[in-house]
């Protein structure tokens, strides 16, 4: 059964339907929020869609770097991060009706 977790990303609340533990979803949302705030500060744009795309690209770049730097025994950790980030993106895409 899915639960609804409310997260705040860049000043906007999202109600996300998820089977993931709330603590993990909140942690990922804070990561996305922090990256969007960095992008906003550096880019000086008010377009939240552009900021979200730039933040996603930065997070994906970090993930790709972590995956390529991990040895054969460490690959599972990168896969877990990728799975969780993918789950958050999916959750945001199917935001629960408010």
Domain limits, the chain: 3-93
What are residue 18's DSSP bridge partners? Answer: 3
What's the whole-model pTM score?
0.68
Q: What are phi and psi of 97, to 5 degrees?
A: -60, 140
CB-CB neighbours of 50 under 10 Å: 13
Residue 66 token pair: 């972590």
Tens of pLDDT, residue by residue over 1-27, are 689 999 999 999 999 999 999 999 999
- The conformation of residue 96, written as its DSSP 8-state character, comes to P
pLDDT of residue 64: 82
Rounded distance, CA 56 to CA 20, Å?
Answer: 20
Q: Which whole-number Å values give the CA distances from 57 to 36, 62, 68, 69, 71, in the listed order? A: 11, 9, 16, 18, 23
Tens of pLDDT, residue by residue over 35-86, are 999 999 998 777 888 888 889 889 888 888 877 776 555 555 566 666 666 6
């Amino acid at each position: 059964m899915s639960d609804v977790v409310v997260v705040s990303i860049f000043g906007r609340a999202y109600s996300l339907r998820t089977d993931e533990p709330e603590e993990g979803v909140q942690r990922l949302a804070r990561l996305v929020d922090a990256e969007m705030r960095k992008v906003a500060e550096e880019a000086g744009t008010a377009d939240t869609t552009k900021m979200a795309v730039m933040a996603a690209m930065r997070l994906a770049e970090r993930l790709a770097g972590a995956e390529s730097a991990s040895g054969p025994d460490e690959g599972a950790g990168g896969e877990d991060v990728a799975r969780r980030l993918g789950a958050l993106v999916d959750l945001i895409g199917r935001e629960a009706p408010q």
